[in-house]
């Protein structure tokens, strides 16, 4: 099963791509020559503005509405992408939600909701796009995990931490099953990055959080986005089932 030639234009779907770190990933991939599908549960003006920024003519970038917790939504987006560009080669599972709460205060319904969106959405995306990649004999999946899924999370909530731990396991499962078909599946587990989401979660505790990070600073979203782009290239064929840690020394192994 032949992989696309390195010079071929590949199409990448990025979930939660309209703002924050997702938008940074979209910019990094587009800079490296990928066509970009900016998806979000509510794309709105931010997604349209990003698409125009990347390609005002709209030839190498489009937006799509995607509720990652709805498997049928995933199918619609895949069909829309293949109808326009012929195929999709890359999926970046970035979208996630959380609500920081002490573990003893989390309502079970809220726990299940966060798990359904974060872990369930990643599962649905890997499964539906994984079938497409398998049938084509090529594909790249990058899942955004988190330090919280490795150390239990202290500021993000038990539901978020559990969902990110599940994503790490799902990455291994899909990596193993899809490897014979030229498809890789990797995870990146950032620590706290300099993003709006992290600032919103930490709030007044930012200085305290920085004091606990060995390197003394938040992560650079652009650097992490470049890691995503690297794992999406044809050159990354021998890397699969791996978790790439970027956490300022908060979790060493």
Q: What is the pLDDT of residues 134-158, one digit of tens each?
A: 999 999 999 999 999 999 986 789 9
Which of 3-17, 52-66, 68-82 has the lowest average pLDDT?
3-17
pTM of this structure: 0.94
219-235 average pLDDT score: 98
Pick the catalytic residue from 76, 85, 138, 160: 160
Fold of 11-246: Rossmann fold (3.40.50)
- Whole-angstrom CA distances from 89 to 59, 136, 234 are 17, 9, 10
Instruction: Report the alpha-carbon angle 171-97-132, nearest 5.
Output: 40
- Whole-angstrom CA distances from 193 to 68, 149, 216, 217 are 23, 15, 12, 9
pLDDT for residue 2: 46
User: 251 catalytic, yes or no?
Assistant: no
In the predicted structure, residue 1 carries a pLDDT above the cut 50:
no
Candidates 62, 84, 56, 83; CA nearest to 14 is 62
Q: What is the pLDDT of residues 32-56, one digit of tens each?
A: 999 999 999 988 899 999 999 999 9
Q: What is the pLDDT of residues 89-117, one digit of tens each?
A: 999 999 999 888 899 999 999 999 999 99
Instruction: Report how far residue 84's alpha carbon sits from residue 152's, in angstroms, rounded to the nearest whole number.
Output: 41
In the predicted structure, residue 6 carries a pLDDT above the cut 70:
no
């Amino acid at each position: 099963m032949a992989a696309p030639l390195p010079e071929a234009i590949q199409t990448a779907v990025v979930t939660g791509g309209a703002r924050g770190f997702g938008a940074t990933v979209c910019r990094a991939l587009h800079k490296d020559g990928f066509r970009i599908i900016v998806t979000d549960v509510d794309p709105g003006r931010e997604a349209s503005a990003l698409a125009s920024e990347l390609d005002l003519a709209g030839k190498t970038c489009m937006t799509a509405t995607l509720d990652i917790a709805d498997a049928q939504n995933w199918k619609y987006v895949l069909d829309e992408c293949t109808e326009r560009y012929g195929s999709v080669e890359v999926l970046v599972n970035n979208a996630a939600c959380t609500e920081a709460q002490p573990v003893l205060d989390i309502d079970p319904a809220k726990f299940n909701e966060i798990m359904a969106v974060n872990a369930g959405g990643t599962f649905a995306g890997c499964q539906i796009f994984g079938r497409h990649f398998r049938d084509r004999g090529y594909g790249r999946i990058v899942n955004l995990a988190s330090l919280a899924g490795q150390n239990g999370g202290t500021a993000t909530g038990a539901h978020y931490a559990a969902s990110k731990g599940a994503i790490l396991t799902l990455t291994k499962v899909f990596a193993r099953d899809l490897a014979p078909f030229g498809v890789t599946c990797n995870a990146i587990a950032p620590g706290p990055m300099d993003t709006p989401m992290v600032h919103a979660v930490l709030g007044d505790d930012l200085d305290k959080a920085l004091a606990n990070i060995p390197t003394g600073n938040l992560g650079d979203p652009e650097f992490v986005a470049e890691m995503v782009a690297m794992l999406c290239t044809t050159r990354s064929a021998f890397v699969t089932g791996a978790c790439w840690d970027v956490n300022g020394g908060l979790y060493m192994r």
